[in-house]
């Protein structure tokens, strides 16, 4: 694979999100776009899963994504699209409750997909595509 010298890939690495536990990067910038890896409700400082309600877990995921975006020169306000993976669409209302608090006007595009399982048995994983400044 060749790389575009005008827009080289930049790998994002930050302590404000869980460390990658496989062959992937927390985030990758290409031009003025940043793509995050899927984030689960791991607390970066402890490496443990966040405890609490489903909504608390979604908030932890968004904090993780926010940390990656900040390291890339972006923010949740700059997200163009989220892809959300849920193990049960019964959690859709809880997801919307959290997103409605974070995105009060002009929310980004979003896809929500029910999947059979997620890493570490969690119920939610979210990835984002955002613009950088």
Q: Which residue has the tokens 């400082």?
A: 45
d(CA 131, CA 78): 6
pTM reported for the whole predicted model: 0.94
Per-residue pLDDT band for 96 (boundaries 50, 70, 90) equals: very high
Per-residue pLDDT band for 7 (boundaries 50, 70, 90) equals: low
Per-residue pLDDT tens over the stretch 33-80: 999 999 999 999 999 999 999 999 999 999 999 999 999 999 999 999
Answer with the residue of higher pLDDT: 97 or 133: 97
In angstroms, the Cα distances linking 53 to 4, 41, 79 are 44, 11, 25
Per-residue pLDDT, 133: 86
Map out the domains of the chain as residue ranges: 10-131
Q: What is the CATH number of domain 10-131?
A: 3.30.1330.40
Angle (nearest 5°) at CA 128 between 124 and 133: 150
Q: Is the pLDDT of residue 119 over 70?
A: yes
């Amino acid at each position: 694979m060749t790389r575009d010298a005008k827009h080289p890939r930049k790998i994002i690495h930050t302590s404000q999100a869980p460390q990658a536990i496989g062959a992937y990067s927390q985030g990758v910038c290409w031009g003025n776009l940043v793509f995050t890896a899927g984030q689960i409700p791991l607390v970066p400082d402890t490496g443990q899963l966040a405890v609490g309600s489903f909504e608390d877990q979604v908030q932890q995921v968004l904090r993780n994504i926010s940390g990656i975006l900040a390291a890339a020169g972006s923010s949740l306000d700059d997200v163009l699209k989220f892809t959300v993976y849920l193990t049960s669409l019964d959690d859709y209302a809880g997801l919307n409750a959290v997103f409605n608090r974070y995105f009060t006007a002009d929310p980004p595009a979003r896809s929500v997909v029910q999947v059979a399982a997620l890493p570490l048995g969690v119920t939610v994983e979210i990835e984002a595509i955002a613009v950088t400044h």
